[in-house]
Amino acid sequence: MKVDFEAYIIFENEDYIVINKPPHVSSLDERQNDISISILKLAKAYHSDAQLAHRLDKETSGILAIAKNPEAYRHLSMQFEHREVTKRYHAVVTGNHNFDMISVYLPIVQKKDGTQVMIDRQKGKEAETIFNTLRVYKKHTLVECMPITGRMHQIRVHLLCLKAPIVCDPTYTGEPIFLSSIKKKFHLKKETEEQPLIKRVALHARSLTFKLLNDEIITVEAPYPKDFDVLVKQLEKFS
């Protein structure tokens, strides 16, 4: 997969680069001597001192902030640590849900294989997410997710706890969505297999609010990538 890093930049100054990360690209190198593409590799090729202040799951698209110097990295890392950064994600979930500032406060622990998490009230790490419904469709809902903490797969497992798994997230019981399930009189050409409307976890990091080094507060918003945009438009059209 070829990625034009500069094409994904949506904000840049002398200290930070903020990009709209495409889906299916890892934030960091997945293992030692990894030759596959990662945002960290691309960022360092663009600016040699680049460091990622946070990360997104490989399948998740959207806002990712990159520091261009050590001072900027420390400044933003401390904001994440002290929960002074506002992160907003959009997710398409299964079912009709009316969330109005619903707070899920359930501790999370990684499973032994490290690829999944689960709720564990005894051994889990503190995790909180706030959810708001943005739009209810026929069989699905567009939800705004605001993670207060930053645990692995936090939004995904917290939505599962609300019986609202994210579309196309089999790790947490999220089923794919097909046009035939929302469009009446849908006809598929003979000898063709229907493809899902989105082929990844339907989660997009929509915006990030943080302080620059001069203490100016900025909010940067990431437009939907093509696959997420198509999904939302089709749901809107046939709801």
The residues that are catalytic are 57
Pick left, alpha or beta for residue 215 (phi over 0 → left; psi -120 to 50 → alpha; otherwise beta): left
End-to-end CA distance of the chain: 34
**Assigned token pair, 98:** 């009316």
Q: How many residues does the chain have?
A: 239
3-class SS of residue 27: coil
What are the E-state strand segments in the chain? 9-12, 16-21, 51-52, 61-67, 86-94, 102-105, 108-110, 117-119, 128-136, 140-147, 203-211, 217-221
Residue 210 backbone dihedrals phi, psi, to 5 degrees: -155, 170
